[in-house]
Amino acid sequence: MRYGFIIPRGDEVETIAELAHEIEAAGWDGAFYWDGICIEGVGAMFDPWVTMAAMAMRTERVRLGAMLTPLSRRRPWKIARETMTLDHLSHGRLVLPVGLGAIDDGGFGKVGEPTDRKTRAELLDESLAILTGLWSGKPFSYTGKHYQLEEMTFLPPIVQSPRIPIWVVGLWPSAKSMDRVLRYDGLLPNKRNPDGSGAEITPADIGEMRAYIAERRTQTTPFDIVCEGRTPGDIPAKAADTVHSFAEAGATWWMEAMWEAPNELTDIRTRIRQGPPRIEE
Q: Each residue of 216-268: pLDDT tens digit?
A: 999 999 999 999 999 999 999 999 999 999 999 999 999 999 998 778 999 99
What CA–CA distance (Å, rounded) separates 269 from 266? 5
What CATH number does the domain located at 2-168+231-274 have? 3.20.20.30
CA-CA-CA-CA torsion sign (64, 66, 67, 69)? negative
Between 6 and 281, residue with greater pLDDT: 6
Reported as a single tens digit per residue, the pLDDT across 21-38 is 999 999 999 999 999 999
- What does the angle CA 169 – CA 68 – CA 123 come to, to the nearest 5 degrees? 65
How many whole angstroms separate alpha carbon 158 and alpha carbon 53? 15
> What does each C-alpha distance from 49 to 32, 86, 101, 161 come to in angstroms?
11, 8, 17, 21
CB atoms closer than 10 angstroms to residue 220 = 6
Q: Where in the chain is the domain with CATH 3.20.20.30?
A: 2-168+231-274
CA 163 centroid distance within chain: 15
Mean pLDDT of the region 157-185: 97
Q: CA-CA distance, 138 to 133, in Å (whole number)? A: 8
Angle at 174 between CA 223 and CA 163, to 5 degrees: 30
